[in-house]
Amino acid sequence: MKPIKDLFIKKNNIRHKVTFFTTILLICLMIGYASFFFITLEFSKNFNAMFNQSIHLKSIDNRMSMFESDLETYLNTKDSDSFIAYLDSFNELESQKKLLNQGLSYNDNQLLINNISNIMDEYLTLSQKAIEYKRARNTKKYIETFNDVERLSGYVDEIMNQINTIEFSENLQDYVLLSSRIENLKIVFVMITVAIIMLSIVFIYDFTYKITVPIKALSEYAKEISKGNYNIEVKSESYYQEADVLINTFSDMALSIKEYIAELKGKVETENKLRIAEIENLKIQNRLKNAELIALQSQINPHFLFNTLNAGVQLANLEDADKTSEFLINLSSMLRYNIQSLKNTVTLKEELENVKSYYHLMKVRFDDQLVFNFDIDDSAGDIMMPPLILQPIIENSLIHGFEDKEEVGIINIQVKETKKGVEIIIKDNGKGIEKAKLNKLNSLEYDIYGEEKEHQGHSTGLGLSNVYQRLKNFYNSKDVIFIESELSKYTEIKINLIKNEVTHV
């Protein structure tokens, strides 16, 4: 619960303002009504007291008359009924006397009532004495005493009249004095009511104005936002906290929308970039497909080709043509290796076997003009790798390195284990690569279209770019190929096969 004082002290809050105003209104009306109620109540109490007192005194007066009548009858006739009636009245008056005796008072009427009580005391005593004188047959005395009783009764009557006169005059005085004040109060109360009505009108006007102004402003801001203008400056005219909250929330909302749209634009840009990357990826895959297509083209009727080659081998054996037989076996072996899917995984040993078959075939073609030197670490033969990696590289040396070269072409193939895996170095003594081109190749910028033409001489139809992409995807590493070259001297290609980090893509 919040402290009550907050209800009244906190400003610019609709709930507090309405509560405060209603409370003030109710208090004003309550004070007005309470005043009237109180005055009316006091007046009625006063008049009731006056009338009750008059009625009471009148009843005592009547009883005293009856009492004197009964006493007189008894004194004259000694009638027992009158005596009984006298006794009843005596007891009644005795009790009334006690009731009237409230002691001394500063109030005039109360003092007179007290006097009545004291006189009644003597009055009743004298009545008893009169009876005693009657019984003693002292006629003169009982008549004198009865006269005294009547005289005292007269005193009581006089005092009662005095009381009524005083009471009436006091109340009349009060009435005259207070009625003018009450008339004034009536006018004041009408003025309070009119002032409260005016205050209510002013309050309602002010209240509705302060509520509608921010709402109107917000609707204008909303229109601006609907037009796409998010750069609006929301002015906070501080009327009520609730309106402030609404304006601030609206302002925050506008800001959030602005930020969200900016974020959305960023996302769209990122998605576009991703789409471009995806398209690039698709292009790469397309190239792979093309490579596979080329490979498949070379698989046209492979059974026929292999059967024919086997027939050739058998014919060579029958004619004792051993070299021919060996040639055909190598050819058959290389073709079988080449037509396998590029998605296959082979061991380095299998890849080297294929290179050897290729060498034997090329040896028949180039004889002593071509020499392959193998320096193989046998323990590295089991490492897994994609197929047809080494043959395209060696073919590149034959096609580009030894082109227009009259010297013996030597290709050194070195395989050695490293910490990370296996390093394959293929080094030729060809014409080398121009520095600019070499840098481009080491920057992995393979000229794909340029390569397409150069693939024409390849048995596999695969270029360096294809080799690189497959190795990169296979090992999930970019550091798979590095080329060194010196123009007219050599070209050395290092291939890194990575152990235990094989990732098939």
Partner 1 sequence: MNKIKIIEGILISFIVLLIAYTVNETIVIQKNISNNDIGAHEKKPEYHFVVISDDVESYSWTTFISSVNDEAKDKSIVIEIYAINDLNDKSEIEKAFEIAILSKVDGIMMKLTDNDTVRDEILKCNDMGIKVITIGNDSPESNRDAYIGTNKYNLGKISASLLTLQGQQKQDVLLILGSEYKENSGASSNNYLNGIHEEIVQNDLINKLYVEYASEKRADLIVNDSLYKDHIDAIICTDPIDSLRAVKVLIDLNLVGDVDLIASSNLPEIIEYIKKGTIQSSVVEDYEIMGETSVEVLYQLLNDKRQSAYINIPISVINKESLGLVD
Binding span for partner 1 by CB under 8 A among 182-190, 305-313, 349-357, 405-413: 182-190
236 lines the binding site for partner 1 (CB under 8 A): no
Residue placing its CB nearer to partner 1 in the complex, 120 or 413? 120
Q: Which listed residue (199, 218, 234, 364) binds partner 1 by CB under 8 A? A: 199
Segment 239 to 258, residues that bind partner 1, using CB under 8 A: none
Residue placing its CB nearer to partner 1 in the complex, 126 or 295? 126
Q: Which listed residue (66, 185, 218, 294) binds partner 1 by CB under 8 A? A: 185
Residue 370 parent element (H or E): strand 370-376
> CB of 339 within 8 A of CB of 299?
yes
Angle, to 10 degrees, between the axis of helix 80-100 and the axis of helix 14-77?
150
Handedness of CA 239, 242, 245, 249 (dihedral sign): negative
Q: Which listed residue (12, 35, 138, 347) binds partner 1 by CB under 8 A? A: 35
The footprint of partner 1 on this chain (CB under 8 A) covers a number of residues equal to: 50
Tally the C-alpha atoms within 13 A of residue 297's C-alpha that lie toward its C-beta. Answer: 9
> CB of 466 within 8 A of CB of 291?
yes
Residue placing its CB nearer to partner 1 in the complex, 175 or 230? 175
> How far is the C-alpha of 217 from the C-alpha of 73, rounded, in Å?
102
Least Cβ distance, residue 10 to partner 1 (angstroms): 17
Q: Which listed residue (59, 184, 307, 344) binds partner 1 by CB under 8 A? A: 184
Q: Is 336 helix (H, G, I), strand (E, B) or coil?
A: helix
Radius of gyration of the chain (CA): 67
Q: Which residues contact 139 (CB under 8 A, 6 or more apart)?
A: 133
Residue type, 172: L
Nearest to 175 by CA among 34, 50, 37: 50
Q: Which listed residue (78, 98, 181, 489) binds partner 1 by CB under 8 A? A: 181
Residue placing its CB nearer to partner 1 in the complex, 76 or 147? 147
Q: Is 417 helix (H, G, I), strand (E, B) or coil?
A: strand
Tokens 């109710």 correspond to 26
Q: Which listed residue (9, 18, 26, 31) binds partner 1 by CB under 8 A? A: 31
> How far is the C-alpha of 165 from the C-alpha of 57, rounded, in Å?
13
Residue placing its CB nearer to partner 1 in the complex, 114 or 299? 114
Residue placing its CB nearer to partner 1 in the complex, 76 or 212? 212
Q: Which listed residue (18, 99, 136, 198) binds partner 1 by CB under 8 A? A: 198
> How far is the C-alpha of 133 from the C-alpha of 86, rounded, in Å?
16
Binding span for partner 1 by CB under 8 A among 3-11, 176-184, 335-343, 363-371: 176-184
Q: Which listed residue (22, 118, 208, 281) binds partner 1 by CB under 8 A? A: 118
Residue placing its CB nearer to partner 1 in the complex, 195 or 255? 195
Eight-class DSSP state of 379: G
42 lines the binding site for partner 1 (CB under 8 A): yes
99 lines the binding site for partner 1 (CB under 8 A): no
Tokens 């170095």 correspond to 425
> How far is the C-alpha of 232 from the C-alpha of 243, rounded, in Å?
18
Q: Which residues contact 330 (CB under 8 A, 6 or more apart)?
A: 357, 360, 361
Q: Which listed residue (38, 51, 168, 374) binds partner 1 by CB under 8 A? A: 38
Least Cβ distance, residue 224 to partner 1 (angstroms): 25
DSSP string, 142-172: HHHHHHHHHHHHHHHHHHHHHHHHHHHHHHH
Least Cβ distance, residue 105 to partner 1 (angstroms): 3
103 lines the binding site for partner 1 (CB under 8 A): yes
> How far is the C-alpha of 407 from the C-alpha of 430, rounded, in Å?
9
> How far is the C-alpha of 131 from the C-alpha of 137, rounded, in Å?
10
Counting Cβ atoms within 10 Å, is residue 385 exposed (0-12), middle (13-18) or buried (19+)? buried
195 lines the binding site for partner 1 (CB under 8 A): yes
Residue placing its CB nearer to partner 1 in the complex, 105 or 281? 105
> CB of 474 within 8 A of CB of 418?
no
48 lines the binding site for partner 1 (CB under 8 A): no
Least Cβ distance, residue 63 to partner 1 (angstroms): 19
Least Cβ distance, residue 28 to partner 1 (angstroms): 6
Least Cβ distance, residue 119 to partner 1 (angstroms): 5
Helices (H) and strands (E) in the chain, counts: 13, 7
Sequence-separated contacts (24+) of 28-35 with Cβ below 8 Å: 28/192, 28/196, 29/196, 32/189, 32/192, 32/193, 35/185, 35/189
Segment 132 to 171, residues that bind partner 1, using CB under 8 A: 152, 155, 159, 170-171
176 lines the binding site for partner 1 (CB under 8 A): no
Residue placing its CB nearer to partner 1 in the complex, 209 or 374? 209
Q: List residues binding partner 1 (CB under 8 A).
A: 24, 28, 31-32, 35, 38-39, 42-43, 46, 49, 103-107, 109-111, 114-115, 118-119, 122, 152, 155, 159, 170-171, 174, 177-178, 181-182, 184-185, 188-189, 191-192, 195-196, 198-199, 202-203, 205-206, 209-210
